[in-house]
Amino acid sequence: MDLEPLMTEILRHVEVECKDKLETAHGVEIHPEALFLACVIALRYSNVLLANDNEEGGSDNRKVLLREKAAELVEKACVRLRHDLNTDAEEDALGMDEYLLCRALVELEEINKEMVHGKKFWVPRVQKEYEDLMDKWDRFTRKSKPIMMSRTQSTRRAEELCMLEQLRHGLVSSLQEAEPNNKTEMKPIFGVAQSLSSLISELLLATHENLKENLTVTPRLVAEVAGPLTGVPASWLLRCSEPPLQGLESRLAERLIGQDHVRFLINNALLRQRSGPRPVGSFLFLYGSGMGRTEHAKALAKQIFDNSDLLTEFDMSEYKDSDSGLRLIGVPPGMLTEAVRRRPYSVILFDNVDMAHPAVVDVLIEILSHGRVLVDQGNSVDFTKTLIVLTSNAIDGNFRLWGCDCIWRSQDCPVKDNLYSDQWEQKHRCIYPSL
């Protein structure tokens, strides 16, 4: 099946037959790029999205199903947007803020009533807490009041538009079913239907102009809705199934304090052109325990796969035996291969890899080299959507290469300017590739 004409047909159907109806029904505006992304996702992941649908009707039925799935993704995004507007996270926190404010006020009054001098010691602290909460309350009130008014107006406008659209649709249906001889007599009704169409367009325009930013279905929202349905992270769907690597170093810095050189080298390695089917990235962390190796892995899971919980850990000190490889990938299904089958987009962390049996290391080398590993009956498990992190305590503490030729080799290692704290480290910066 030629995909380009099919994509054009699906997009035309969603734009012409679905867009206006969904905007009217939910009181939102749908960005054209959101429509396009929904069609791309429906076509690209059709095998997943249509897994539970009957495709016996052939190619024509498949086209209908794909159009329905694209429209369904857009509709889910509209519903999600309306739900988010009606249940703001700041409003959910309002009850707790109100409780804290009341508690601080009661505590302040009780302390002022106490005759014991020691109690008076807490007055400044509680007074400061109360003033901070009052300031936060005032700022939230000023911010939330226009938002609540806008939401109320938007909800009312959506209901009005829906009623008008139903009325217009009824009039148009009646006109189409009228006898040919009565067409002349029904000209006034034609005028009413046209007036209703104009009024609906004006109301939509006014609503979108007033609340455009808060009421627009964006590509990001479509990707977030489609993520759980396809099993693909939203950030990958936005970038056409490519990991979101731009600005990764600065995004990691928001979670990880210090170790600028680690973030810098991770970012450079992931941005480097990859050739052949391999994992998204593979790293060997040699700095000691307690210095953030697991936290780096969680941060990478969050930034690349949208979820810091998409991290599977294996302690390789438990795989010292010769048959350990079978426990990872063998029959019955191994722990590693099953973990990747369930969560193909994830970070795999192998702790203490130097303690593993050589047979296990051979399995890891196959994964890093080919992006897959053979299991039972010649089947393979795909690792090209995973990020591999290996750790080792083999070299701990300060690793100093006294008398080395670092000053001549330093240009071979990418180093961030003004990164090191003393002249020795600047001179001997090739210790990292030497390791």
pLDDT at 343 over 80: yes
Largest CA distance in the chain: 105
Per-residue pLDDT, 403:
43
Strand 372-374, strand 380-382: pairing: antiparallel
152 and 33 within one domain:
yes
Decide which of 242, 260, 277 is a domain's last residue.
242
Strand 346-351, strand 311-315: pairing: parallel
Higher pLDDT pick, 272 / 368? 368
Distance between the two ends of the chain, CA-based, in angstroms? 52
How buried is 143 (Cβ within 10 angstroms: 0-12 exposed, 13-18 middle, 19+ buried)? exposed
Per-residue pLDDT, 399:
47
pLDDT category at 346 given cuts 50, 70, 90 is very high
Q: Are 209 and 157 in contact (CB under 8 A)?
A: no
Is residue 425 situated within a structural domain? no
113 and 201 within one domain:
yes
Identify which of 220, 84, 219, 90 has the alpha carbon closest to the alpha carbon of residue 154: 84
283 and 200 within one domain:
no
Residues 343, 89: Cα–Cα separation, whole Å: 29
Dump pLDDT digits (tens) for 288-328: 777 778 888 999 999 999 888 899 999 998 898 888 777 88
Is residue 405 situated within a structural domain? no
45 and 161 within one domain:
yes
Per-residue pLDDT, 402:
41
Strand 346-351, strand 372-374: pairing: unpaired
Which residue range is the domain that position 172 belongs to? 1-242
Quote the pTM value: 0.63
- 7 contact partners, CB below 8 Å, separation of at least 6: 39, 40, 43
Residues 435, 433: Cα–Cα separation, whole Å: 5
pLDDT category at 154 given cuts 50, 70, 90 is low
pLDDT at 146 over 80: no
Q: At residue 375, what is the residue type?
A: V
Is residue 429 situated within a structural domain? no
Structure tokens at 173: 């249906």
Numbers of helices and strands, H then E, in the chain: 21, 8
Per-residue pLDDT, 56:
46
Task: Please give the tally of structural domains in the chain.
Answer: 2
Dump pLDDT digits (tens) for 61-92: 888 899 999 999 999 999 988 877 666 555 55
Dump pLDDT digits (tens) for 374-431: 887 778 899 999 999 999 886 654 444 444 455 445 455 555 555 555 555 555 555 5
Is residue 382 situated within a structural domain? yes
Q: Are 308 and 353 in contact (CB under 8 A)?
A: no
**What's the mean pLDDT when you consider all of the chain?**
77
Decide which of 203, 227, 242 is a domain's last residue.
242
Is residue 410 situated within a structural domain? no
Is residue 407 situated within a structural domain? no
- Phi–psi pair at 31, nearest 5 degrees: -70, 140
Q: Are 305 and 237 in contact (CB under 8 A)?
A: no
Is residue 23 situated within a structural domain? yes
Q: What percent of the chain clears pLDDT 70, i.e. is strictly above it?
A: 68
Is residue 174 situated within a structural domain? yes
- Phi–psi pair at 285, nearest 5 degrees: -90, 115
Instruction: Report cis status (omega within 30 of 0) of the bond before 219.
Output: no
Average pLDDT over residues 254-266: 79
Q: Specify the CATH number for the domain of residue 57.
A: 3.40.50.300
pLDDT category at 145 given cuts 50, 70, 90 is low
Q: Which value, in Å, is the radius of gyration of the alpha carbons in the chain?
A: 30
Query: What number of residues does the chain have?
Result: 435
Identify the DSSP state of 386.
E
Identify the DSSP state of 42.
H
Dump pLDDT digits (tens) for 191-223: 777 777 777 766 666 655 555 556 788 999 999
302 and 158 within one domain:
no
Higher pLDDT pick, 259 / 73? 73
Residues 192, 151: Cα–Cα separation, whole Å: 30
Per-residue pLDDT, 55:
47
pLDDT at 52 over 80: no
Identify which of 239, 191, 245, 202 has the alpha carbon closest to the alpha carbon of residue 44: 239
209 and 83 within one domain:
yes
Higher pLDDT pick, 281 / 292? 281
- In three-state secondary structure terms, 256 is coil
Decide which of 181, 211, 242 is a domain's last residue.
242
Strands (E), 230-364: 281-285, 311-315, 346-351
- 239 contact partners, CB below 8 Å, separation of at least 6: none
Identify which of 381, 368, 395 has the alpha carbon closest to the alpha carbon of residue 334: 381
199 and 100 within one domain:
yes
Identify the DSSP state of 416.
-
How buried is 307 (Cβ within 10 angstroms: 0-12 exposed, 13-18 middle, 19+ buried)? middle
35 and 90 within one domain:
yes
359 and 217 within one domain:
no
pLDDT at 125 over 50: yes
Per-residue pLDDT, 215:
74
Residues 13, 11: Cα–Cα separation, whole Å: 5
Residues 219, 33: Cα–Cα separation, whole Å: 6
Dump pLDDT digits (tens) for 4-29: 788 888 899 898 888 888 887 887 88
193 and 301 within one domain:
no
178 and 312 within one domain:
no
Strands (E), 339-397: 346-351, 372-374, 380-382, 386-391
Per-residue pLDDT, 133:
75
169 and 64 within one domain:
yes
